[in-house]
């Protein structure tokens, strides 16, 4: 009996252990994005290609709840819901998805399925109302007509212009569905460095095919225009916005577009920046140019996104130019013009202060532009969750209308009573099978859409949603991976450009360090930004002794940034030129603080590998191996950044690297010979050579076998 009892106990323990064993998921290539765990319960293709049919089909295929779902466009419109908002009404045995429009109900269906996938469905009777913060929640594709993507790291363009309009890829509908599922409703499909040919009749017929596919998903097409199009494709000898012939060209071209695409959204414009043509070529202002285009669009309800990304190589401080050029024009833009402002005053750096323009133009529609593609954050090779960066900007107070005038409040129109509101993100999407080139940075596409709908959502909440829908809901997976994502932006800042350092990357591909580079344009040169010398490092932007950029901010920001003692240390070298032996708040010298910050960045990046290995049972083999390989590369790149920057700065500081920091594995001369080479300044952007890499070899101290 004792033997039998012992055997029974052992058997029970064995069964308990084996029953708790995690079943390894089947391999997947990641193409299904955050729909991965959306289990199909029935096959139900939509009866026709309409918004209403698609919404019903999504419920028929994926709703697992016992309650019946009723999708209803309200007869009596609810003003509070607007065009895109929806209401989910949960009652006994029934869920009602209500909205003023069909697209509102589709957003509601995706919202309901999201609650199902994230285990967040209410238990009893409840009403959930969702209304987007921004009217236009826009994507900017920097795709060229030859299939290349400027600052794209996930293959070639999604749009196969050679095959359109006759051959249509199923990926176009998949793209529209993914965007609708997170509320993105506008997409500019071509590069802001625009080829005027996109506006020719042949290309517009191709664009029409995409617009027809996108329409049932509520996704409006925008086009980036080349301001010199009247000369390039219109047969004119000028593109002067005040010339009647030019005005007529744009009226005629706009009418042609709307005849093909009746719900065309409008134009995105980059003008008088980085060599692009613009109204200043003819002695006109940005307002003159924007208003001409806006007037052509106005009869059809179209809008203009006019970029504030302007700078001149002769300027003393590139960070000041957007405000210098646009503040004097405040109040001069048409109501259907939005000035598209990057989150920071330079160019999507790992950390920047907000653009001061957000707090300086009370009579102008302003919209935020963020970069989803990781131009300065490790391309698709590094895992960086970008929502914390964007949230930092949105939550920053401009103090324009007193305390509470955050960038989010300003751009949503809470203080200015904007007639329009919008937000835009430069995409990280290409034709790679997993869309983004890295399984983990698909989160940035998802997070951008969720943020554009609701800027109040936390980074933690969005990461939790994405992980549950894309990988697993098991807490043993969610907790460590979410923590890794939440701190990944700070980790990247630590090993790339900490304490306010900026624009010290290699200029050829904006990947890897290049603090020694001296471009033929000073405003593209790392030397111009870090100004390292025996006396210290950092860009002096104070009024007292520097460029005066601090004065472009409202109080109390201006005084806070001006004073080295009150300036946030994570922006110290952005606003101040600081001696190497300057004492930081923790008592360390600036030099030691830099060394230890880089050291922490390396250690944290290496820890990603350990975290990922621990969650292996919850991830399919294909995605697990792809991500692990990228994380190893990221940790080695962190060491490359540290060695290059610290060894270069050491030639000025003449101070030792602390003994408890990792010793460099390469010399400065060796590191000057390596990098990722893509194009050189001055080379036409649509005729780049193939990418090639000459990267330094590194051994990870924590993982010497990798």
- Average confidence (pLDDT) over 640-662: 98
* Burial track 438-458 (b if 16+ CB lie within 10 A, e otherwise): bbbbbbbbbbbbbbbbebeee
pLDDT exceeds 50 at position 223:
yes
CA 462-464-470 angle, to 5 degrees, is 100
Q: Region 681-692: what's the mean pLDDT?
A: 47
Helix (H, G, I), strand (E, B) or coil at 262: coil
Position 616 pLDDT exceeds 90: yes
pLDDT for the residue numbered 20 = 56
- In this model, does residue 685 exceed pLDDT 60? no
Whole-number Å distance between alpha carbons of 569 and 499: 6
- Asked whether the predicted pLDDT for residue 702 surpasses 50, the reply is yes
- Alpha carbons 200 and 151: distance in angstroms, whole number: 25
pLDDT for res 418: 78
The DSSP code for 70 is E
Percent of the chain with pLDDT over 90: 90
Residue 353 — very low, low, confident or very high, per pLDDT cuts 50/70/90?
A: very high
Ramachandran area for residue 404 (φ above 0: left; ψ -120 to 50: alpha; else beta): left
Q: Return the pLDDT at 47.
A: 86
Backbone φ and ψ for 611, nearest 5 degrees, come out as -60, -45
386: which residues sit within 8 A by CB, 6+ positions away? 370, 371, 372, 374, 377, 444, 447, 448, 489
Q: What is the pLDDT of residues 307-343, one digit of tens each?
A: 999 998 788 999 999 999 999 999 999 999 999 999 9
> What are the structural domains, with CATH classification, of the chain?
33-130 (3.30.379.10), 136-470 (3.20.20.80), 492-539+577-694 (3.90.1330.10)
Is 589's pLDDT higher than 80? yes
Report pLDDT for 13: 37
Does 669 score more than 80 pLDDT? yes
- Residue 280: exposed, middle, or buried by beta-carbon count in 10 A (0-12, 13-18, 19+)? middle
Q: Are 303 and 136 in contact (CB under 8 A)?
A: yes
Mean of the pLDDT values across residues 84-113?
98
Distance, CA of 545 to CA of 530 (rounded, Å): 16
Mean pLDDT of 219-231: 98
Catalytic (active site) residue 690: no
Catalytic residue among 375, 432, 523, 562: 375
**Active-site residue 616, yes or no?**
no
Question: Is 347 among the catalytic positions?
Answer: yes
* Separation in Å, CA 381 to CA 148, 377, 491: 18, 9, 15
What pLDDT sits at residue 17? Answer: 39
Mean pLDDT across the stretch 183-201? 98
Lowest-confidence segment of 37-46, 584-593, 651-660 by average pLDDT: 37-46
DSSP per residue over 402-457, as a string?
Answer: BTT-BHHHHHHTTTT--S--EEEEE----SSTTSSSSGGGHHHHHHHHHHHH-TTS
Distance CA 634, CA 611 (A): 14
Q: What is the pLDDT of residue 1?
A: 41
Candidates 509, 511, 442; CA nearest to 150 is 509
- For 410-430, the pLDDT digits (tens) are 999 998 777 799 999 999 999
Query: In this predicted structure, which of 14-28, 517-531, 577-591 has the lowest mean pLDDT?
Result: 14-28
In sequence order, which ranges of 154-297 are alpha helices (DSSP H)? Answer: 171-181, 201-214, 229-232, 244-260, 286-297
Residue 44 vs residue 657, higher pLDDT: 657
The overall average pLDDT reported for the chain is 94
| pLDDT value at residue 62 | 98
Q: Which two tokens stand for residue 679?
A: 């194009």
Tens-digit pLDDT profile for residues 423-457:
999 999 999 999 999 999 999 999 999 999 999 99
Catalytic residue (one of 347, 352, 517, 540): 347
The pLDDT-based confidence of 690 (bands split at 50, 70, 90) is: low
Query: Contact 79/50 with Cβ under 8 angstroms?
Result: no
The predicted structure's pLDDT at residue 166: 97
Question: To the nearest 5 percent, what fractions of the chain are helix, strand and coil?
Answer: 40, 10, 45
Residue 139 has pLDDT above 90, yes or no: yes
Greater model confidence, 5 or 691: 691
Q: CB of 676 within 8 A of CB of 695?
A: yes
Model pLDDT, residue 50: 98
Which of the residues 212, 243, 274, 670 is marked catalytic?
Answer: 274
Higher-confidence position of 403 and 15: 403
Number of H helices, E strands in the chain: 21, 14
Distance from the Cα of residue 120 to its chain's centroid: 27
More confident residue, 609 or 11: 609
pLDDT level of residue 520 (50, 70, 90 thresholds): confident
The pLDDT assigned to 675 comes to 84
Residue 16 has pLDDT above 60, yes or no: no
**Which SS3 state, helix, strand or coil, does residue 119 take?**
coil
User: CA 223, CA 147: separation in Å to the nearest integer?
Assistant: 16
């Amino acid at each position: 009996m004792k033997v039998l009892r012992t055997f029974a106990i052992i058997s029970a323990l064995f069964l308990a252990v084996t029953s708790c064993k995690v079943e390894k998921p089947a391999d997947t290539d990641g193409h299904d994005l955050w729909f991965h765990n959306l289990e199909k319960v029935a096959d139900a293709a939509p009866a026709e290609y309409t918004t209403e049919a698609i919404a019903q089909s999504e419920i028929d295929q994926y709703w697992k709840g016992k309650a019946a779902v009723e999708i209803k466009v309200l007869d009596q419109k609810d003003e509070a819901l607007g065009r895109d908002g929806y209401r989910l009404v949960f009652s006994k045995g029934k869920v009602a998805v209500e909205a003023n429009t069909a697209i509102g109900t589709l957003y509601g269906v995706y919202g309901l399925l999201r609650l199902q996938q994230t285990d967040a469905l209410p238990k009893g009777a409840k009403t959930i109302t969702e209304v987007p913060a921004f009217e236009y929640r826009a994507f900017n594709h920097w795709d060229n007509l030859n299939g290349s993507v400027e600052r794209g790291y996930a293959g070639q363009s999604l749009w196969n212009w050679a095959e359109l309009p006759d051959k249509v890829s199923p990926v176009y509908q998949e793209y529209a569905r993914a965007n609708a599922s997170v509320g993105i409703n506008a997409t500019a499909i071509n590069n802001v460095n625009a080829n005027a040919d996109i506006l020719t009749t042949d290309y517009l017929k191709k664009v029409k095919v995409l617009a027809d596919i996108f329409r049932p998903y509520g996704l409006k097409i925008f086009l980036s225009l080349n301001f010199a199009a009247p000369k390039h494709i219109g047969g004119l000898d000028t593109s002067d916005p005040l010339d009647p012939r030019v005005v007529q060209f744009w009226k005629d071209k706009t009418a042609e577009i709307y005849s093909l695409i009746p719900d065309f959204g409008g134009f995105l414009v980059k003008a008088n920046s980085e060599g692009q043509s613009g109204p200043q070529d003819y002695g006109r202002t940005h307002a003159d140019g924007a208003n001409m285009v806006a007037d052509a669009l106005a009869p059809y309800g179209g809008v203009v996104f006019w970029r504030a990304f302007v700078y001149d190589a002769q300027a003393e401080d590139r960070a000041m130019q957007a405000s210098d050029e646009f503040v004097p024009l405040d109040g001069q833009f048409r109501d259907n013009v939005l000035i598209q402002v990057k989150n920071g005053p330079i160019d999507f750096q790992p950390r920047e202060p907000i653009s001061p323009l957000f707090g300086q133009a009370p009579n102008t529609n302003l919209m935020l532009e963020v970069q989803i593609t990781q131009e300065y954050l490790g391309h698709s090779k590094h895992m960086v969750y970008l929502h914390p960066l964007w949230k930092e900007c949105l939550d920053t107070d401009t103090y324009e209308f007193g305390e509470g005038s955050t960038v989010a409040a300003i751009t949503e129109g809470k203080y200015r009573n904007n007639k329009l509101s919008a937000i835009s993100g430069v995409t990280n999407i290409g034709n790679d099978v997993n869309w983004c080139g890295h399984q983990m940075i698909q989160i940035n596409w998802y997070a951008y859409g969720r943020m554009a709908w609701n800027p109040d959502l936390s980074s933690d909440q969005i990461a939790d949603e994405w992980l549950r829908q894309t990988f697993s809901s098991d807490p043993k997976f969610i907790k460590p991976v979410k923590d890794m994502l939440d701190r990944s932006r700070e980790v990247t800042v630590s090993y790339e450009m900490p304490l306010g350092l900026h624009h010290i990357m290699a200029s050829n591909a904006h990947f890897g360090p290049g603090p020694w580079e001296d471009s033929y344009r000073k405003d593209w040169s790392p030397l111009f930004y870090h100004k390292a010398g025996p006396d210290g490092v950092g860009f002096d932007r104070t009024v007292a002794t520097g460029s005066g950029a601090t004065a472009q901010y409202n109080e109390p920001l201006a005084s806070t940034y001006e004073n080295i003692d009150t300036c946030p240390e994570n922006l110290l070298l952005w606003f101040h030129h600081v001696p190497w032996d300057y004492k930081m708040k923790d008592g360390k010298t600036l030099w030691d603080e830099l060394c230890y910050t880089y050291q922490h960045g390396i250690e944290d990046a290496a820890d990603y590998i350990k975290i990922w290995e621990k969650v292996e049972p919850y991830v399919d083999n294909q995605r697990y191996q792809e991500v692990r390989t990228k994380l190893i590369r990221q940790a080695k790149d962190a060491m490359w950044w540290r060695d290059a920057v610290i060894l270069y700065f050491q030639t000025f500081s003449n101070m030792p690297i602390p003994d408890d920091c990792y010793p460099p594995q390469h010399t400065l001369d060796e590191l000057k010979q390596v990098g990722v080479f893509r194009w050189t300044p001055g080379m036409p952007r649509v005729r780049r050579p193939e990418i090639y890499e000459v990267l330094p070899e590194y051994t990870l101290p924590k993982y010497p076998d990798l």
